Amino acid sequence: MNARFSLFVAAATASLLGCADSEMSPTSNFPRSSEYAPLDSMLDHAVANHQVPGGIALIMKDGEVAHFRAFGYANPLELEGMPEDAIFRICSQTKSLTSTAAMILWERGLIGLDDPVSNYIPDIGSMGVIEEVFEDSTCSIRPSQSIMTLRHLMTHQSGISYGEIGDPRFKLLYEKAGVVDLFTTDSLTAEENCIRIASTALIHDPGARWNYSLGLDVMVRVIEVVSGRPFDEFLKTEVLEPIGMQDTYFYLPDSLRNRLVPVWEPDSSATWVLHTHPQYQTDYPVDGAQTYFSGGAGLCSTPLDYAKFLQMYLNGGMHDGQRILRESTIDTIMANHDNAFYGSLRSTRLWPIMKSMLENRRGIKVWLSVCKRRRLMVRWSRGHFSGEATSTPLTPLIRIQKPSAF
pLDDT for 136 equals: 80
pLDDT for 289 equals: 95
Contact 244, 147 (CB under 8 A): no
Task: Report how far apart the first and last C-alpha atoms of the chain are (Å, whole number).
Answer: 43
The tens digit of pLDDT for each residue in 309-339 reads 999 999 999 999 999 999 989 988 887 777 5
| CA nearest to 74, candidates 65, 64, 60, 85 | 85
Q: Left (φ > 0), alpha (ψ -120 to 50) or beta: where does 172 sit? A: alpha
pLDDT for 384 equals: 39
Residues 6 or more apart whose CB falls under 8 angstroms from that of 321 comprise: none
Q: Is 30 helix (H, G, I), strand (E, B) or coil?
A: coil
The tens digit of pLDDT for each residue in 168-203 reads 899 999 999 999 988 899 999 999 999 999 999 999
Q: Considering the chain, what is the average pLDDT of its residues?
A: 81
Contact 322, 221 (CB under 8 A): no
- Rounded Cα gap, residues 80 and 72, in angstroms: 9
Mean pLDDT in each 10-residue stretch from start to end of the chain (406 residues)? 32 28 57 89 94 94 92 96 96 95 95 95 93 86 96 94 88 92 92 97 94 96 98 98 97 97 93 89 94 96 95 94 92 76 51 52 42 45 42 34 32
pLDDT for 164 equals: 83
Contact 322, 242 (CB under 8 A): yes
pTM, 2 dp: 0.79
pLDDT for 352 equals: 59
Contact 304, 88 (CB under 8 A): no
Contact 126, 201 (CB under 8 A): no
